[in-house]
A and B are shown apart, each in its own frame.
Chain A
Amino acid sequence: MEEEQINNILNKLEGSSVVASAVNTTNDFNSNDRFFFCDAKTQSELNELIGENKPKLVVLVGFAGYGKSTFVGSLYQQLISNHSYNNYCFVDSDTYVGFERRVFLRRINNSNVSDTKRNVLGENDVLNIKLRSNKGEMQHVIISDKAGETYSRYISSDNDVSNDMVINNADIILFFIDAELLCGSLANYNLISEKYKNILKRFIALGKLKETASYILVFTKIDKLNGEDYKMKLTTRRDNLSIVFKDIIGSGPDDIYEVNSKKIEDVRLNELFCKVLDPNRSSIYSREIDWVKNDIETLI
């Protein structure tokens, strides 16, 4: 369908600027690929995903091939298979196509076919999940899964980092590290370390890390590490990298996970899913809001 035809239909249906913006084609790839209903959203559409409560925002950070999309694909696969986390089950998403694309990528990776189809730079990164507990409580989680090349750009561009609207809103940030690469040559380890140092310093300098956000280090592809040597190397290099994060951010990670994202039965992977989908948020409220209790305490 031509863009003009789409615009004509939309103009007849509704005049709102938001709907009109759905055909805004400033992305890097073909606009016909872009316009699917239920596709992943752009960060400029984040506010549209807010209902009566602000959803939890989980941001996946990691360079190309570090396993972010595989992680998302596995999470989605578990959810649509009626797996519950924290007594919450999946009920809906506005971004099914975005998830399905990532599941496809996961399958491609599983088959050991050359990894030619990853998240393309410029492809929409915002996905959402709606869950419901067995008591009927709803939970809404948004996941940002950007292409790894985006973060490579961030290493050398303040402008790109400044324009990122998800990092500074994140409730949880998952920093992905390819464990296989990490435990390879020393050069590889140093490269990963330097890339993360660079990007973290840029985040801090531009005020992008919210004080209340928690961050987690996720070491992926641990199934590729065979033998005690590799496992020891992982422990050492993992700990060193944690110190790098701690030194720059000012506090250590909330948790560290070593996972095989392709294996949906992976225990630690599922624990990480639980963590990401944990509905409990710290809640502080002023005692004066309960005015009756306040009246009683004043009297006493």
Chain B
Amino acid sequence: MGNDDLMCAINAHLFIPLDGKIIERLQNNVMQLLLEADINMVEDCTYSFFMNVVSPDFRNSFDMNYQKLYKDSLFLPDIVYVILEIFFVRKCIEADDISANVRRKYSCVVRNFAVLLKGRWSNLKCSDWVIGMYKYSNVDIDKSKHTGTPSQSFLNSILPYDNWDDTGLDISNINIFRQIHDLCIVATKNHFNNFINSFAFSKYSSPFVRVYMLFCKMMNNYDWKYLSIEPPKIIISTMGKASTEKKKFRRIVDIIRNELNSDDLYKPTMKSSVLLRKIFSNYHCGIEECMFSVLEFGIYLYYELLLESYND
């Protein structure tokens, strides 16, 4: 992404455009901040961007770094900082030196926080950038790469052993590894289908509760993230017509909190798990009056849980 991209994004929101030299400095400054990037910074910047505010931490880091780099201070309207926040996040996602897993996490952060603008999409700045960041959440975990030992739960899905050494299999051999990996995938798929078919849906009266419990239990029990799951298909196949039922989010939260015990509520760790956090702790998130269908609610929930699982 060149200066032109950033220049267009910033100058579209100013009366007097910033010149190329200033834009270059802003871009360089952001690149410097990438060295300190982590999931917390990405969450902080993404949240602030979607809320159309400037994160104090980002502003301080940015200004201090700029001062250090250029021995100068610069007045920037808040709108420029807001754009720089999402520019920073985009750079984090597109960095060459991060793993696919980290890239997926960052992309999920953006997807998950996007719910804050439900019904107010026209308020979003730099929407092309945001759309471009979504795609990294869906990259399948590369099954073909000989990377590390398959997990314990994978092992248990096919063989009754506690560790790979006990099996006598040479998993350092790439062909054997791939065969075992494929076998594990098939076994996991079977387990997953059995789980879906046998899930005690009738236990819960509301389809919102059912979809919440379905995905929370999936999260806890299976290596399902290694499968190519399409959440909308699962929801429609399990909920049927009920997947189109709609309610306001605050009502959905009330229903779930009333029907389930506190032990059943999933405790999220990520700031971007907006829906999960609201359900768990009933904090004010600003989207209480937004309408969600069961299908929409389930999809948002899936991706929040997906990120939570990546972060385990």
Least CB distance from B245 to A in Å reads 14
Assess whether B16 is in contact with A46, with CB atoms less than 8 Å apart.
yes
Contact size class for B? 35 or more
Q: Which of A50, A57, A283 contacts B122 (CB 8 A)?
A: A283
Assess whether B232 is in contact with A57, with CB atoms less than 8 Å apart.
no
Assess whether B127 is in contact with A285, with CB atoms less than 8 Å apart.
yes
In the assembled complex, the Cα of A53 lies from the Cα of B130 at a distance in Å of 18
Least CB distance from A11 to B in Å reads 14
**Which of chain B's residues 72-125 have a Cβ closer than 8 Å to chain A?**
73, 75, 77-79, 82, 111, 114, 117-118, 121-124
Least CB distance from A297 to B in Å reads 10
Interface status of B54 (Cβ within 8 A of chain A): yes
Assess whether B79 is in contact with A53, with CB atoms less than 8 Å apart.
yes
Interface status of B248 (Cβ within 8 A of chain A): no
Assess whether B122 is in contact with A284, with CB atoms less than 8 Å apart.
yes
Interface status of B156 (Cβ within 8 A of chain A): no
Q: Which of B13, B123, B296 contacts A296 (CB 8 A)?
A: B296
In the assembled complex, the Cα of A202 lies from the Cα of B236 at a distance in Å of 61
Assess whether B124 is in contact with A52, with CB atoms less than 8 Å apart.
no
Q: Which of A18, A284, A299 contacts B230 (CB 8 A)?
A: A299
Nearest chain B residue, comparing its CB with the CB of A51: B78
Measured between beta carbons, the chain B residues less than 8 angstroms from A284 are 122
Nearest chain B residue, comparing its CB with the CB of A44: B16
Least CB distance from A172 to B in Å reads 14
Measured between beta carbons, the chain B residues less than 8 angstroms from A289 are 114, 117, 121, 124, 127, 130-131
Assess whether B15 is in contact with A50, with CB atoms less than 8 Å apart.
yes
Assess whether A291 is in contact with B134, with CB atoms less than 8 Å apart.
yes
Assess whether B131 is in contact with A53, with CB atoms less than 8 Å apart.
no
Q: Which of A43, A47, A57, A288 contacts B77 (CB 8 A)?
A: A47
Q: Which of A16, A165, A166, A169 contacts B73 (CB 8 A)?
A: A16
Assess whether B233 is in contact with A299, with CB atoms less than 8 Å apart.
yes
Nearest chain B residue, comparing its CB with the CB of A282: B122
Assess whether B79 is in contact with A48, with CB atoms less than 8 Å apart.
no
Assess whether B124 is in contact with A51, with CB atoms less than 8 Å apart.
no
Least CB distance from A170 to B in Å reads 10
Assess whether A50 is in contact with B114, with CB atoms less than 8 Å apart.
no
Interface status of B295 (Cβ within 8 A of chain A): yes
Q: Which of B79, B118, B300 contacts A54 (CB 8 A)?
A: B79
Residues 264-298 of chain A, each 1 if its beta carbon lies under 8 Å from chain B, else 0: 00000000000000000001111011111101100
Q: Which of A51, A54, A166, A286 contacts B127 (CB 8 A)?
A: A286
Interface status of A15 (Cβ within 8 A of chain B): yes
In the assembled complex, the Cα of A283 lies from the Cα of B121 at a distance in Å of 9
Taking Cβ atoms with an 8 Å cutoff, the residues of A that contact B are: 15-18, 43-44, 46-48, 50-54, 57, 165-166, 169, 283-286, 288-293, 295-296, 299
Q: List 4 other contacts, CB 8 Å, given A44-B16, A54-B15.
A: A50-B79, A53-B79, A283-B122, A289-B127
Question: What are the 10 closest A-B residue pairs judged by CB atoms, nearest first?
Answer: A283-B122, A46-B15, A50-B77, A18-B75, A299-B232, A52-B78, A169-B15, A285-B121, A288-B131, A285-B122
